[in-house]
Amino acid sequence: MGQIEDKLKTLNLSLIRRSKLPATHCQCKRHGNLLYIGGVSESGEADYETGKKLGKKFVAVMVAASDGMDDIEAVLNLTVAVRGSTPATASDSAADGVSDAIVDFFGARGCHTRTVIGVNALENQASILCGGVILLRSDRNV
């Protein structure tokens, strides 16, 4: 078991299993040691707690698309889209939940740049959607 998995146990945290995609596009694209992730979403209120749930899903996608949690060198960038006509502070709070969940799992390696945008609609009635770029330790194309 890796260091990150051990840390998860001590923090009493667990990963959420991701579901299969019905669409023809891929959720992740790996090129060399970069992993591009798009379209991870969560429904519910566009608030901090929903953002935390989405952050856990995003981590699960990262782990599934890499060679495990120890293969993740750094989370480089996130783009978070928040649905609704809520004030900007609500959008920031939802995105903060995503960011905080990722940092909870990875510590300093999870610290990232972030763009937050408000939108009128998201796929599958989601309230928050996240994509990002991840730096991996291993180098391969998939």
Q: Which residue bears the tokens 């991840």?
A: 134
Separation between Cα atoms, residue 33 and residue 74, nearest integer Å = 11
The residues spanned by each domain of the chain are 36-136
Strand boundaries in the chain, DSSP class E: 28-31, 34-42, 72-83, 113-119, 128-136
pTM here?
0.80
pLDDT per residue as tens digits for the range 108-125: 999 999 999 988 889 888
Angle between helices 88-106 and 48-65 (to 10 degrees): 40
Question: Could you tell me which CATH class the domain 36-136 is placed in?
Answer: alpha beta
- Give the pLDDT confidence of 8-60 residue by residue, as tens digits: 777 776 665 555 555 667 788 888 899 999 989 999 989 999 999 999 999 99
